[in-house]
Structure 1
Amino acid sequence: MGELNIPTHSNEVKASIPSPHILLVSLNRPKALNAMSSTMSADMKRLLDWFEGEPELWVVVLTGEGRLFCAGADLIEWNKQQQGGDTSDQGRVAANRYGFGSVSRRESTKPIIAAVHGGAYGGGLEMVVNSDLVIASEDAKFGFPEVTRGVIAIQGAIPRITQICGHQKASELLLTGKIIGAVEARDRFGFVNAVVPNSTTAVAEAIKLAQQITANSPDAVQSTKHALVLSQRLSHSETVSQHVWSHVTERVYNGQNIKEGLKAFAEKRRPIWTNPSKL
Structure 2
Amino acid sequence: MYARAPIPTSEFECLRYEVRDHVAVITINRPERRNALNRRAYDEVECAFRAAAADADVRCVVITGADPAFCSGEDVKEMMTGQQHDASVASLTRIRPEPTPAAVAALECDRPVIAAVNGSAVGWGMELSLFADIRIASEQAKFGELFIKRGLISDVGGLWRLPAIVGPAKAAELLFTGDIIDAQEAFRIGLVTEVTAHGDLMERAMAMAGRIAVNPPLALRYMKEGLRRTANGDLREIGSWVSGTLGRLFQTEDHREGVASFIEKRAPVFKGR
Q: TM-score w.r.t. structure 2 length? A: 0.76
- 2:18 maps to 16
- 1:79 maps to 80
TM-fit CA distance, 1:193: 0.8
* Structure 1 residue runs without a partner (length 5+): 1-5, 236-279
* Structure 1 residues 202-241: aligned runs within 5 Å: 202-233=201-232
- 1:195 maps to 195
- 2:153 maps to 152
TM-fit CA distance, 1:100: 4.6
TM-fit CA distance, 1:96: 5.7
TM-fit CA distance, 1:95: 5.5
- 1:172 maps to 173
% same residue? 30
**Any conservation in 1 of the 2:50–2:109 contact (CA below 8 Å)?**
no
For residues 109-140 of structure 1, what are the alpha-carbon distances to aligned partners after superposition, in whole Å with 9 as ceiling and x for unaligned? 21010000121001111111121111100111
**Any conservation in 1 of the 2:119–2:138 contact (CA below 8 Å)?**
yes
Pair member with larger Rg: 1
| CA–CA distance in structure 1, aligned partners of residues 72 and 193 of structure 2 | 21
> Is 1:136 the equivalent of 2:115?
no
Quick one: structure 1 residues 84 and 48, their matched pair in 2 at CA, closer, same or farther if it must change by over 3 Å? Answer: closer
**Any conservation in 2 of the 1:99–1:155 contact (CA below 8 Å)?**
no
**Counterpart of 1:26 in 2: which secondary structure?**
strand
> Is 1:64 the equivalent of 2:65?
yes
TM-fit CA distance, 1:41: 1.3
**Any conservation in 2 of the 1:36–1:101 contact (CA below 8 Å)?**
no
- 1:264 maps to none
Moved more, 7-16 or 119-128: 7-16
Amino acid of the residue matched to residue 186 of structure 2? A
**Any conservation in 2 of the 1:100–1:123 contact (CA below 8 Å)?**
no
Aligned length: 226
**Counterpart of 2:119 in 1: which secondary structure?**
coil
- 2:247 maps to none
- 1:248 maps to none
| CA–CA distance in structure 2, aligned partners of residues 55 and 34 of structure 1 | 29
Amino acid of the residue matched to residue 144 of structure 1? E
TM-fit CA distance, 1:141: 0.5
- 1:42 maps to 43
Q: TM-score w.r.t. structure 1 length? A: 0.74
TM-fit CA distance, 1:89: 4.9
**Counterpart of 2:11 in 1: which secondary structure?**
coil
Amino acid of the residue matched to residue 142 of structure 1? F
- 1:52 maps to 53
Quick one: structure 1 residues 178 and 92, their matched pair in 2 at CA, closer, same or farther if it must change by over 3 Å? Answer: farther
* Structure 1 residues 60-139: aligned runs within 5 Å: 60-81=61-82, 85=86, 87-91=89-93, 94=96, 97=99, 99-100=101-102, 106-139=107-140
| CA–CA distance in structure 1, aligned partners of residues 28 and 84 of structure 2 | 27
* Structure 2 residue runs without a partner (length 5+): 1-7, 235-273
Quick one: structure 1 residues 147 and 125, their matched pair in 2 at CA, closer, same or farther if it must change by over 3 Å? Answer: same
- 1:258 maps to none
TM-fit CA distance, 1:10: 2.6
Q: Which has the higher contact order (CA 8 A, sep 6+)?
A: 2
Quick one: structure 1 residues 140 and 156, their matched pair in 2 at CA, closer, same or farther if it must change by over 3 Å? Answer: closer
